[in-house]
């Protein structure tokens, strides 16, 4: 396969996959009109359509507000501000429970390093995830790229318009190919690729630097790239990384760059999918769309009814009024000169039936409640605890809230947070951000990394360990009266460590197990020594008494 034919095949695949999204883009445009008007440019080439007709189809902002509240909840629940919202661990749960404190401290250091990289202002993380959360809540998915910005020696996060991105998935349901259409200026493309651009494009740089060119960015599994697109001459510089990133000039058919990548680059969390489609949807919006349209109609009817109530229609007597009826303040309506009846009879207010106005207000309130329920806003409130509740009652409330919120945030945590932080970790590991293998504790080498998350749902789960410890203590206190040996059943050290870990106590706050063992041993030896000394002292006093008794017996002549 020649270079030109390979490039053409790549362009054809990207063009074909993007063209199949035409109807989907129209659907997203319709959703955006109702819930996210500032994102409503899926079927238009202009940027955000600000203008005289912006959001002109809306009569109430309530659907926009519930969408905004859900997007804000995604951020506050999955990535709480001011908290360490993720922790690096290992996938081997059994081994993870028995890790030494040294290993736990190393994992905490890795967590802090990754957090510092993503929280750096130059990384663009906050901006990208805020935009991504809104897309995720509205359209059920978002596209965030995670790359290394070599200019700032940091990660770079960017959220892309889904209109310009298409993807496919493998038989395992995992996305294995992503293409993005990038319409940019020659000047901007030159800043990134410089002399890698085609000769014709470089010639246009000085005179037509602000002209647009279309570039395709494609990312696929390296195995697929060499199986489907690579020629024999490419094998001498074979890519060893799991993914391959390709930039191509569409009009010129020019391959700009082909490099390896440790990740798929594009993080595409998907909320809910249906079989046969690689694109997801927002269950909140799908449920709310009919009610959002209904609410707009109800609000429009109420506005019209309110206007009629304040400014009711009038009836003019035939041939009595000789001008337009002026209803504005300080206005004049002219009557016919030969009209000889009472002026009040010339123009009369039409009597209207306003009994349906209250019914309309009731329908509006009920529809708003349905929209809140569709966007899960009624499931976001944490349970309230009474100070008089027992530990069992508190745990039951927590479990009830977990069961209610898990379907919502459980999938988001796996699809969104897990995928994103894993890509960040893999990207940083590839560039040596966590040091070489020699700094990794021996028991962690070769272990698969897994992430746990700190959020209200995870905290509720973690607090259950503390509640169970209190419940165990209460049960033992009651049962110990029956059999004092029951006090020997629990392992208080393990139970307390689990409870402290469950409520998020950092490992560096706790002494290592071997340090605690040494302290316990030293205390036991000190106690044993003290008992020995006390025994010797008691023995010495007894010997002294025995000596005095023997002396008294001798003096009495008894022996």
Residue 557: both structure tokens together: 């002549």
**Is 467 domain-assigned?**
no
Does 1 have pLDDT greater than 50? no
pTM: 0.76
130-144, 190-204, 323-337, 357-371: lowest mean pLDDT where? 323-337
- Look at residues 212, 200, 199, 196 and name the one whose alpha carbon lies nearest to residue 248: 196
Q: Whose structure tokens read 């594009």? A: 266
Distance CA 420, CA 82 (A): 19
Does 332 have pLDDT greater than 90? no
As a whole number, the mean pLDDT across the chain is 82
214 and 338 co-located in one domain: no
163 and 262 co-located in one domain: yes
The phi and psi torsions of 380 (rounded to 5 degrees) equal -90, -15
174-178, 248-252, 474-478: lowest mean pLDDT where? 474-478
pLDDT at res. 480: 75
pLDDT at res. 6: 85
- Using a 10 angstrom Cβ sphere, with 0-12 exposed, 13-18 middle and 19 or more buried, the burial of residue 338 is exposed
158 and 220 co-located in one domain: yes
HEC profile for 120-169? Answer: CHHHCHHHHHHHHHHHHHHHCECEEEEEEECCCCEEEEEEECHHHEEEEE
User: How many CB atoms are located within 10 Å of the residue 407 CB?
Assistant: 11
pLDDT in tens, 45-96: 665 555 657 888 899 999 999 999 999 988 888 888 878 889 999 988 778 7
Domain count within the chain: 2
Q: Is 453 helix (H, G, I), strand (E, B) or coil?
A: strand
The CA-to-CA distance between both ends of the chain, in Å, stands at 122
Give 254's Cβ-side CA count (13 Å radius): 16
170 and 231 co-located in one domain: yes
pLDDT at res. 370: 95
Percentage above 90 pLDDT, the chain: 45
Using CA atoms of 92, 98, 102, 103 in order, give the dihedral in degrees to the nearest 10: 0
Does 27 have pLDDT greater than 60? yes
pLDDT in tens, 125-159: 999 999 999 999 999 999 999 999 988 789 999 99
- Using a 10 angstrom Cβ sphere, with 0-12 exposed, 13-18 middle and 19 or more buried, the burial of residue 7 is buried
**Helix or strand run (H / E) with residue 101:** helix 101-119
**Is 188 domain-assigned?**
yes
197 and 261 co-located in one domain: yes
Does 191 have pLDDT greater than 80? yes
Q: Which of 192-201, 332-341, 465-474 has the highest mean pLDDT?
A: 192-201
Q: Are 164 and 41 in contact (CB under 8 A)?
A: no
Q: What is the DSSP letter of 335?
A: B
**Is 83 domain-assigned?**
no
pLDDT in tens, 274-331: 999 999 999 999 999 999 999 999 999 888 888 777 777 676 665 666 566 666 665 6
Distance CA 511, CA 517 (A): 10
Q: Whose structure tokens read 């607090």? A: 463
Distance CA 470, CA 502 (A): 13
149 and 24 co-located in one domain: yes
151 and 207 co-located in one domain: yes
Q: Are 244 and 222 in contact (CB under 8 A)?
A: yes
Domain C-terminal end among 303, 334, 351:
351
Which structural domain, as residue segments, surrounds residue 347? 313-351
**Is 179 domain-assigned?**
yes
319 and 234 co-located in one domain: no
107-111, 197-201, 436-440: lowest mean pLDDT where? 436-440
**Is 68 domain-assigned?**
no
Distances (CA, A) of 368 to 145, 328, 381, 455: 36, 35, 18, 28
**Is 319 domain-assigned?**
yes
337 and 237 co-located in one domain: no
Distance CA 371, CA 366 (A): 9
| Close Cβ partners of 200 (under 8 Å, ≥ 6 residues apart) | 252
Q: Are 397 and 385 in contact (CB under 8 A)?
A: yes
pLDDT at res. 323: 66
pLDDT in tens, 221-243: 999 998 887 765 555 568 899 99
Domain C-terminal end among 206, 234, 268:
268
Residue 15: both structure tokens together: 């063009």
Number of separate helices (H) and strands (E) present in the chain: 17, 14
Distance CA 476, CA 454 (A): 31
Does 553 have pLDDT greater than 50? no
Beta-bridged to residue 348, according to DSSP, are 315
User: How many CB atoms are located within 10 Å of the residue 27 CB?
Assistant: 16
Average pLDDT on 261-276 reads 95
Beta-bridged to residue 272, according to DSSP, are 281
Domain C-terminal end among 351, 367, 399:
351
Q: What is the CA radius of gyration of the chain?
A: 37
Q: Whose structure tokens read 């020649």? A: 2
Distance CA 463, CA 455 (A): 12
**Is 367 domain-assigned?**
no
Q: What angle do CA 419, 425, 117 make, to 5 degrees?
A: 110
151 and 220 co-located in one domain: yes
Q: What is the DSSP letter of 270?
A: B
**Is 337 domain-assigned?**
yes
pLDDT in tens, 392-440: 676 667 667 666 666 677 778 889 999 999 999 999 999 999 988 888 8
pLDDT at res. 183: 93
Distance CA 455, CA 76 (A): 8
331 and 227 co-located in one domain: no
Does 39 have pLDDT greater than 50? yes
Q: Are 229 and 6 in contact (CB under 8 A)?
A: yes
156 and 25 co-located in one domain: yes
Distance CA 137, CA 374 (A): 11
Does 505 have pLDDT greater than 70? no
């Amino acid at each position: 396969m020649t270079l030109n034919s390979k490039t053409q095949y790549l362009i054809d695949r990207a063009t074909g996959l993007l063209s199949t999204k035409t109807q989907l883009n129209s659907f997203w445009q319709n959703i955006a009109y109702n819930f996210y008007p500032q994102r409503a440019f899926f079927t238009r080439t202009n940027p955000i359509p600000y203008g005289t007709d912006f959001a002109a189809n809306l009569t109430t902002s309530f659907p926009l507000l519930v969408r905004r509240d859900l997007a804000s909840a995604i951020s506050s629940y999955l990535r709480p501000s001011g908290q360490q919202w993720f922790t690096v661990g290992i996938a081997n749960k059994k081994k993870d429970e028995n890790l030494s404190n040294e290993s736990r401290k190393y994992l905490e250091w890795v967590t802090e390093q990754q957090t510092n990289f993503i929280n750096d202002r130059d990384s663009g993380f906050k901006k990208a995830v805020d935009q991504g959360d809104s897309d995720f809540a509205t359209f059920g998915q978002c596209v965030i790229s995670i790359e290394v910005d070599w200019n700032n020696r940091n990660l770079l996060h960017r959220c892309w318009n889904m209109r310009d991105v298409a993807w496919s998935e493998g038989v395992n349901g995992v996305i294995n190919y992503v293409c993005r259409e990038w319409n940019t200026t020659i000047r901007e493309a030159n800043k990134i690729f410089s002399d890698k651009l085609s000769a014709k494009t470089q010639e246009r740089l000085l005179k037509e630097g602000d002209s647009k060119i279309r570039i395709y960015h494609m990312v696929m599994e390296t195995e697929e790239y060499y199986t489907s697109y690579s020629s024999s001459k490419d094998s001498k510089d074979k890519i060893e990384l799991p993914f391959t990133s390709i930039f191509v000039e569409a009009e010129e058919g020019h391959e700009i760059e082909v490099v390896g990548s440790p990740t798929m680059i594009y993080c595409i969390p998907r909320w809910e999918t249906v079989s046969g489609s690689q694109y997801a949807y927002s269950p909140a919006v799908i449920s709310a769309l009919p009610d959002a349209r209904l609410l707009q109609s109800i609000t429009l009817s109420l506005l019209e009814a309110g206007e009629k109530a304040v400014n009711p229609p009038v009836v003019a007597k035939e041939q009595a009024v000789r001008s337009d009826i002026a209803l504005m303040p300080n206005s004049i309506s002219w009557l016919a000169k030969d009209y000889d009846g009472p002026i009040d009879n010339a123009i009369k207010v039409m009597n209207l039936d306003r009994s349906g106005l209250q019914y309309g207000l009731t329908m509006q309130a009920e529809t708003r409640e349905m929209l809140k329920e569709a966007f899960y806003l009624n499931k976001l409130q944490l349970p309230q605890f009474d100070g008089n509740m027992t530990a069992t009652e508190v745990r039951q409330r927590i479990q009830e809230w977990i069961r209610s919120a898990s379907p919502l945030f459980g999938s988001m945590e796996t699809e969104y947070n897990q995928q994103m932080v894993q890509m960040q970790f893999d990207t940083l590991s590839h560039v040596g951000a966590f040091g070489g293998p020699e700094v990794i504790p021996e028991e962690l080498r070769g272990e698969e990394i897994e992430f746990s998350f700190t959020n209200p749902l995870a905290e509720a789960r973690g607090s259950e360990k503390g509640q169970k410890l209190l419940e165990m203590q209460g049960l033992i206190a009651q049962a110990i009266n029956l059999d004092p040996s029951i006090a020997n059943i629990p392992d208080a050290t393990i139970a307390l460590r689990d409870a402290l870990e469950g409520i998020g106590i950092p490992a560096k706050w706790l002494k290592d197990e071997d340090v605690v063992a040494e302290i316990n041993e030293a205390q036991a030896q000190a106690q044993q020594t003290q008992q020995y000394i006390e025994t010797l002292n008691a023995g010495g006093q007894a010997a002294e008494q025995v000596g005095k008794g023997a002396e008294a017996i001798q003096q009495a002549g008894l022996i």
